[in-house]
Amino acid sequence: MDHIALNSGTTIPALGFGVYQTPPAITDRVVREAIEVGYRLIDTAQYYRNEAQVGQAVRAALSQGLAREDLFITTKIMTSGYEESRRAIMDSVAALDLGRIDLMLIHWPQEDGPGTWRALEEAVEAGRVRAIGLSNFYGQDLEEIIGGARILPAVNQVETSVVYQQRRLMPALERHGIRLEAWGPLGQGRRGILTDPVLAEVAQAHGATPAQVALAFQVRTGVITIPKTVNRDRMVENLAAADIELSAAELEHLAALDTGHCIGWPGFPEQDYDPADYPFTVPS
């Protein structure tokens, strides 16, 4: 598995495992299976309400001989302001119960982003968190955090896929050494991504599936990628995508699939716009 260097001095696996909309009742089992098949990056959030189950699964893996430094655990807080966020950080540390958290993100812009960021910076300085970052930040919200930061964000986790490659956002991140991290890397199966003829042609050349090629494109272009599934066979299939080598010509053909428009939140109506043009709105 390739690793990507972060500006925090840490490295993160290029492809990981997400647990959005994974019911708490099955999260322990699902994450244990993900670790068993080889995932080393696990991504959760307070909003998902399954941090405790993720922590339980990781502790089980550690009890069987896996080293803590071999796993990279991400979570996200959704609070506003310094004091509220200090409490939220401690809540996540307690829920996961893994000692230091590898990466903690602000899940989406809130009223007092700078106050929340200051709480995260202090968590790094106190040794509770190794790296900090953002999720779903664009435009003014992004610049506000960067402009006042003592510790720069390590990542910005946003919707990214082969049909929405975040070309407008990338320059703003690259200027500050912030890495792009993808949620929704398979486009939630919408817009015909998994039946696209270009993906199908490249997949056939590699004895792979279109989904694997879509994930491989992200990995090969330096995007940290976190697909989600609860099916063990699909876990194996997705993880194998990290080993697919794509030629320069194939990367060029796949890059041409970009539409510049997002698909939107999993489980919510499909959208057709670029979030960089609008204030971010979390689904109710």
Residues annotated as catalytic (active site), given as ranges: 48
For residue 210, give the DSSP letter.
H
Helix extents (H) in the chain = 24-37, 51-63, 82-96, 113-125, 139-148, 170-174, 197-206, 210-220, 232-240, 248-255
Query: Which residue's structure tokens are 């330096």?
Result: 222
Query: Which residue's structure tokens are 């001095």?
Result: 9
Burial class of 164 by CB neighbour count within 10 A (0 to 12, 13 to 18, 19+): buried
Query: Which residue's structure tokens are 């990214």?
Result: 160
Q: Which two tokens stand for residue 142?
A: 């992004």
User: Checking phi first, is residue 127 left (phi over 0); if not, alpha (psi -120 to 50) or beta?
Assistant: left
Q: Which residues pair with 105 in a beta bridge?
A: 76, 133
Q: Is 112 helix (H, G, I), strand (E, B) or coil?
A: coil
Calculate the alpha carbon distances from 257 to 196, 210, 239, 251 in Å: 9, 13, 23, 10
Q: At what angle do helices 248-255 and 197-206 cross, to 10 degrees?
A: 160
- CA 54 to CA 47: how far, in whole Å? 13
